[in-house]
Every structure is written in structure tokens, then in C-alpha cells.
């Protein structure tokens, strides 16, 4: 069974019994909150103004309402678990709690959206319970959205098709140590822009929240390595048309997230030509791969990774 709630998606309208439950709660003020960064791609550096007091108030209101709608999600989750208990099948059922994307609420002046390659947008929760999974344990193993389908098939005892991009998480869930602790993977987004010069799209004159912009197509290589920590390298393209080519790249960003956790300062200038070329080649190979050829790349290392 698959359950996908609209909450806490915009407009994030709470149930009547939960209205005003979190009055006064404000969006987290991380170091990147309303940070005016001039060394990032054009949507951040030029396309998004610093948030005014009015917009900050709207962001905080959205954050409050998102929390309130999640109380209904909690009720739903409790009801599902209760129904499984009543049918005496809870101990023979796997439950996955997940999301499709992260969300920024004020980071780099971006009001309430999801379409950037920064940690707030690409990290999602993953909580799993079921037979053979030890309670109250965590793992640092890599888990991607594309891994969900092969994991479900594997847990159900079905053979895995070779053309699936993702890999089964079953061994990790059942307590095996990951074979590879260094990893890399692709993050990609294809912008909603269709006409050059349109600029940015907003949700409406009364809700001044940025939705998307032209030339917001990017490919990012996210990496983790025991020696150099967490890193991300991104290519931004001058077109939203697919397919893109490497000649369409107009801007790059690089962050060592272990050293610059909030990704405040673009360090792409610190890369050598060789390192940049290696990152580019890896990104493009990921972009073009399918099935098992993608699996082999997840554990490969670049000179900076």
C-alpha cells in the first residue's frame, strides 16, 4: 500500500482542530537564512531579492502551517499502524516513511520551495520498521529515492531487473555493514522555463514566493569520502530544453560541505583543471547511464573524493 499525503505541501491548510497549534514558531534561522550570496548561479545571486519583513512573516506563517498539517499526518500514521495491529499483521509488515524532496524556507533568500541543489532541498527523511530491522538503530549508508523500488521488490522476494537504476537497501536494513563507505551519486533537475527571457515565476501577486526560473536546470555530483568528507559539484545550464549538452554549461559551483556546512562560499575556483574535468566526466556518465552501469559508478572515486 502506498499513501502520499498532500500535507505539508502548499497551501498547507491545517485541520480545524490543529489551527494555531504552533503559533509563534518561526522558520529555522540557519547561517544561510536570507544570505545574499553573490558567488552562486544567477537565480540566487541576481534573481532573488533579499527577503523583506513582510516576506519573512509569510515564510514563518507557512512554516507554522506546515507543522500543523503534519499533526494530521501523524494521526494517519497512527491509524494505519493501529489497523495493522488489529489485523495482527504489523509484525509481518514493513513500513517506510519517506518524502520526495527537501524544502528551503529562507535559505539564500529563497522563500518556500525545493528546486535547488543545496542540502535543504536534496536531503529527505527515511525511517523504516519491520521484520528483521533492529529498533532504534541508524546507519550512515547511502540511500537514494531510486533505491526504494528495488528495495520493495527485494523484501518481497522478487528478482531485481537489471535495468533498475537504484539498488536494494535490504542488506543494510537487516543489519549488514555497507560494503562501500565512499560514494557518489547524481542530483538532477530540469527547470520549468520554456521561453528565454521570461525570468522567474511566482505563485501570484499576493504570495510573493518564487516558484521557478528559466535556466534553472542543473546536474550535481554529491560525494562522500572518508578522507575529504562531503562535497558537491554542480553544473548549471543556459537552457531548460532537453537534451542539454556540455556546451550549454554557463556556471559551476563546488562546496566541501564538511568544511562549509551551510554552502555559503562557492569554492569552484579552488579546483584544478584536472579535478574539474574529472567531475564533469563523472556527472555526464551518471546522466547518461542506466541500470547496473549506474550501480558501478556509485562507489568510484575522483581525485577530490
Whole-angstrom CA distances from 112 to 104, 212, 236 are: 6, 11, 21
Is residue 8 classed exposed, middle or buried when 0-12, 13-18 and 19+ CB atoms within 10 A define those classes?
buried
pLDDT in tens, 125-134: 999 999 999 9
Helix (H, G, I), strand (E, B) or coil at 92: helix
Written as nine digits, the cell of 206 is: 499576493
Assess whether the previous peptide bond of 287 is cis (omega < 30° from 0): no
- Regarding pTM above 0.85, the answer is yes
Over the chain, what is the mean pLDDT?
89
Contacts 24+ apart (CB under 8 A), 153-162: 155/94, 155/130, 161/291, 162/291, 162/292
Poorest-pLDDT segment among 9-18, 21-30, 43-52, 53-62: 43-52
- Grade residue 236 by pLDDT with cuts at 50, 70 and 90: very high
Band of the pLDDT at 216, cuts 50, 70, 90? Answer: confident
CA 161/CA 36 separation, integer angstroms: 46
Q: What is the pLDDT of residue 206?
A: 42
**From the CA atom positions of the chain, what is the Rg in Å?**
21
So what's the pLDDT on residue 303?
57
Amino acid at each position: 500500500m502506498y499513501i502520499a499525503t498532500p500535507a505539508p505541501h502548499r497551501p498547507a491548510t491545517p485541520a480545524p482542530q490543529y489551527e494555531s497549534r504552533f503559533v509563534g514558531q518561526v522558520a529555522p534561522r540557519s547561517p544561510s537564512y536570507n544570505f545574499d550570496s553573490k558567488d552562486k548561479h544567477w537565480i540566487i545571486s541576481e534573481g532573488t531579492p533579499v527577503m523583506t519583513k513582510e516576506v519573512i512573516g509569510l515564510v514563518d506563517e507557512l512554516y507554522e502551517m506546515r507543522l500543523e498539517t503534519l499533526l494530521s499526518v501523524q494521526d494517519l500514521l497512527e491509524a494505519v499502524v493501529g489497523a495493522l495491529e488489529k489485523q495482527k499483521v504489523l509484525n509481518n509488515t514493513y513500513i517506510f516513511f519517506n518524502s520526495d524532496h527537501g524544502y528551503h524556507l529562507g535559505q539564500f533568500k529563497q522563500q518556500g520551495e525545493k528546486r535547488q541543489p543545496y542540502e535543504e532541498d536534496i536531503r529527505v527523511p527515511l525511517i523504516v520498521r519491520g521484520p528483521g530491522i533492529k529498533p532504534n538503530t541508524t546507519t550512515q549508508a547511502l540511500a537514494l529515492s531510486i533505491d526504494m523500488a528495488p528495495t520493495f521488490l527485494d523484501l518481497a522476494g522478487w528478482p531485481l531487473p537489471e535495468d533498475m537504476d537504484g539498488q536494494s537497501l535490504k542488506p543494510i536494513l537487516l543489519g549488514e555493514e555497507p560494503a562501500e563507505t565512499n560514494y557518489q551519486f547524481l542530483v538532477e533537475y530540469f527547470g520549468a522555463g520554456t521561453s528565454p527571457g521570461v525570468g522567474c515565476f511566482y505563485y501570484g501577486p499576493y504570495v510573493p514566493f518564487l516558484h521557478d526560473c528559466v535556466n534553472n536546470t542543473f546536474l550535481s555530483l554529491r560525494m562522500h569520502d572518508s578522507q575529504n568528507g562531503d562535497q558537491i559539484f554542480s553544473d548549471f545550464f543556459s537552457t531548460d530544453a532537453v537534451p542539454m549538452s556540455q556546451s550549454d554549461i554557463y556556471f559551476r559551483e563546488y562546496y566541501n560541505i564538511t568544511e562549509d556546512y551551510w554552502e555559503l562560499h562557492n569554492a569552484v575556483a579552488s579546483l584544478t583543471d584536472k579535478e574539474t574535468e574529472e567531475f564533469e566526466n563523472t556527472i555526464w556518465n551518471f546522466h547518461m547511464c542506466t541500470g547496473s552501469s549506474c550501480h558501478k559508478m556509485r562507489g568510484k572515486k575522483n581525485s577530490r573524493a
